[in-house]
């Protein structure tokens, strides 16, 4: 946790372009955007990945989706956006602090790579 980039963003040690913050979550622009809109939605609590979340995290997990819902509206991508979490190295996870990518502003393909 001490070396966690997202914990450092949450504490303000590392600067980021914050779009939303509240008591339990923060959302900021991805430093390497994969779409015109690419926001990371992150709980303040250090949970390594979705698979490591606990039963007591149910409200927090639901809250992250509502932050995504509200941001999609604010950012004008409500009609078409993708919300995704990469769980584990094999799925592309590089930062071990739970986060959802919200991507929008371009045509999405399926299946993702």
Paired residues of 28 in beta bridges: 18, 40
> Which residue in the set 5, 7, 50, 83 belongs to the binding site for ligand 5GP (CB under 6 A)?
5
DSSP 8-state symbol, 96: S
CB nearer Zn ion, residue 43 or residue 104: 43
- Selected catalytic residue, list 38, 97, 99, 101: 99
Tell me whether residue 2 is exposed, middle or buried, using C-beta atoms within 10 angstroms of its C-beta: 0 to 12, 13 to 18, 19 or more: exposed
Is residue 57 within the footprint of ligand 5GP (CB under 6 A)? no
Residues 6+ positions from 87 with CB-CB distance below 8 Å = 49, 50, 51, 93
As a whole number of angstroms, the distance between CA 60 and CA 54 comes to: 10
Of residues 94-113, which lie at the interface with ligand 5GP (CB under 6 A)?
Answer: 94-95
3-state secondary structure of 37: strand
Interaction of residue 97 with Zn ion, rule CB under 5 A: yes
Among 10, 26, 27, 28, binds ligand 5GP (CB under 6 A): 28
Binding of ligand 5GP by 46 (CB under 6 A) = no
Interface with ligand 5GP (CB under 6 A): 5, 14, 16, 28-32, 40, 86, 92-95
């Amino acid at each position: 946790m001490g070396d966690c980039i997202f914990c450092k963003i949450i504490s303000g040690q590392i600067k980021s372009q914050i779009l939303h913050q509240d008591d339990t979550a923060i959302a900021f622009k991805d430093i390497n955007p994969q779409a015109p809109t690419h926001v990371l939605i992150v709980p303040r609590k250090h949970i390594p990945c979705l698979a490591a979340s606990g039963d007591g995290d149910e409200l927090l997990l639901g809250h992250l989706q509502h932050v995504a819902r509200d941001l999609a509206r604010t950012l004008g991508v409500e009609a078409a956006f993708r919300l995704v979490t990469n769980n584990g190295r094999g799925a592309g996870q590089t930062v071990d602090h739970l986060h959802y990518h919200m991507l929008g502003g371009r045509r999405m393909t399926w299946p993702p790579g």
